[in-house]
């Protein structure tokens, strides 16, 4: 059974750093396209970043240069390193995997809340 479990969220001051983790089971993270999607409180969904099975990465303009997506094959875990955090980064962060044949985001984690505030 596919499972995605995020962790690492919390309260952080503006300018601070945080690393989110997404522990996967039931499939191999490094063999799939994996993304982070976020949702500010009471707002819509925003795609944040993707890492391809081959290792290529892409980012939303709003986080480019501040966030880094990565993975650890041994731990079967996806990460999002977030630096220079701003109040507008406050959101629930979801990790999601792609399936086959164009099935974008066929499985999602439960989300982890990041609050950027002084």
Site for other proteins in 96-115 (CB under 8 A): 101-106, 108-111
* Measured distance CA(77)–CA(116) in Å, rounded: 24
Q: Measuring CA to CA, which residue among 2, 21, 25 is closest to residue 100?
A: 2
* Closest CB to other proteins among residues 6, 73: 6
Site for other proteins in 7-66 (CB under 8 A): 37, 44-47, 50, 58-61
> How many of the chain's residues bind other proteins (CB under 8 A)?
21
* Closest CB to other proteins among residues 27, 47: 47
* Measured distance CA(114)–CA(85) in Å, rounded: 10
Which positions touch other proteins (CB under 8 A)? 37, 44-47, 50, 58-61, 94, 101-106, 108-111
């Amino acid at each position: 059974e596919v499972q995605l479990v995020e962790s690492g969220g919390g309260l952080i001051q503006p300018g601070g750093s945080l690393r989110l983790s997404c522990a996967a089971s039931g499939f191999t993270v490094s063999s799939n396209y994996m993304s982070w999607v976020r949702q500010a409180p009471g707002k819509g969904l925003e795609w944040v970043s993707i890492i391809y099975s081959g290792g290529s990465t892409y980012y939303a303009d709003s986080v480019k240069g501040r966030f880094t997506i990565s993975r650890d094959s041994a731990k079967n875990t996806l990460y999002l390193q977030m630096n220079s955090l701003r109040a507008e980064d406050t959101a629930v962060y979801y990790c999601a995997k792609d399936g086959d044949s164009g099935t974008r985001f066929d499985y999602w984690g439960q989300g982890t809340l990041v609050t950027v505030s002084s």
